Structure 1
């Protein structure tokens, strides 16, 4: 049963990575075609904005691509789950936002490069959210070690609490 799950993950990872690379090829070919037709799209900004997308694609290719034994064609490694939440999800978001901005630039001009600022702003928002949650957890943990009176709800039933007061 575990082998079936590994095969399913390998198949879904291969499909996701192939779709990712085809999508990247289509978006970038559209950009270059319109760049060479109109000559008003900035290659410098395309390169600069595309670096995070290419890094994310490369990392997902490295970690998610299944590997097979060349002689027996048996599955050796199914790869990390590309449908997982967390960092993988954020990497897909970076790629999709980059593609969207690239298509907008290709269709409407260089002003759309500014829309990519959504990515670092969202990253900063998430970092501050995680930092504030960690700060709350740390303050809650340090408060739990203090005297019993301030630790939270009193222990026991109402009659016991009256007798203690």
Structure 2
């Protein structure tokens, strides 16, 4: 069973893609039948544009996820490529999150049109992540780096024994210890 991990990934990806496809069908069918057909008299142009843009974004993300995670089989019916693991963290999970937020907005905005404002949570979260992962470390590094440079210049020639030991250990590299 040398290929069992690939088979497991292919099976999980197939289940995830099937659930995603069913979710698209149910959520969009609900929105179309309830909000557009049943409540046609309150359906406005801005709601139609919001629905079309958000559905387009989620369909685009779904096609990307589908092409990445869809297993491929050779002519004999054997698994040739399991596709990318859709359960890994990273950009694929963010695409899933955007799809789920879109579904939430579609379902809730069918009852209350002001729920379209919840769609702003996506760029707000992206901005927060950029702040946490990029901007904040750069700001703290520039402030801490300048302070440490000034401190090292003032105490140039005086190193503590502890610091010397740590530098010597770092030069030697990692040591393997046995018990």
TM more than 0.5: yes
| TM-aligned CA deviation for residue 54 of structure 1 | 1.5
Q: Which residue of 2 aligns with 1:90?
A: 94
2:101 equivalent to 1:121: no
Aligned ranges 1:19-58 → 2 under 5 Å:
19-34=19-34, 35-39=36-40, 40-41=42-43, 42-58=47-63
Q: Which residue of 2 aligns with 1:105?
A: 109
Q: Which residue of 2 aligns with 1:163?
A: none
Q: Does the residue aligned with 2:88 lie in a helix, a strand or coil?
A: coil
| TM-aligned CA deviation for residue 37 of structure 1 | 1.1
| TM-aligned CA deviation for residue 132 of structure 1 | 2.7
Unaligned runs of 5+ in 1: 158-165
CA distance in 2, matches of 1:46, 1:114: 13
Q: Does the residue aligned with 2:80 lie in a helix, a strand or coil?
A: strand
Structure 2 length-normalised TM:
0.75
Alpha-carbon displacement from aligned partner over 1:44-96 (angstroms, at most 9, x marks no partner): 11011222211211110011101111x31011110001000111111111011
Q: Which residue of 1 aligns with 2:174?
A: none
Regions of 4+ moved over 4 Å: 136-144, 146-153
Structure 1 length-normalised TM:
0.81
Q: Does the residue aligned with 2:4 lie in a helix, a strand or coil?
A: helix
Unaligned runs of 5+ in 2: 167-179
| TM-aligned CA deviation for residue 136 of structure 1 | 5.9
Q: Which residue of 2 aligns with 1:78?
A: 82
CA distance in 2, matches of 1:52, 1:123: 16
Give the paired residue count: 154
